[in-house]
Amino acid sequence: MKNEKILKKLSQLKIGESGVIDSFTDKVMSLKLLEMGCTPGEIVTLDKIAPMGDPIAIKVSGYLLSLRKEEASTVLVVMMSKN
């Protein structure tokens, strides 16, 4: 079970958690996200959450990107191990 992938929605990450983008659940939204550097295999880290919980800021492709939680919920990430 060491190589078991743990998938989470990007919107479920806690501040400081990182994951590798695996796939998308919404085809239309995926095109928008791909254009912003959210490509499969890219590492994303949750950096900040707005005081009311929406939007969130993620680090991806060398920059900070702000997404609504609804948008972030369409991105599936493989959780990175904390070794």
> pLDDT by residue (tens digit) across 20-40?
999 999 999 999 999 988 999
Rounded to a whole number of angstroms, the distance between the first and last alpha carbons of the chain is 16
Which portions of the chain are predicted below pLDDT 50? 1, 83
**7-79 under CATH 3.40.1280.10, yes or no:** no
- Any idea where the domains of the chain sit in the sequence? 7-79
* Residue 12, burial from CB neighbour count under 10 angstroms (0-12, 13-18, 19+): middle
Q: Which residues contact 60 (CB under 8 A, 6 or more apart)?
A: 21, 36, 37, 38, 42, 43, 44, 45
pTM: 0.85
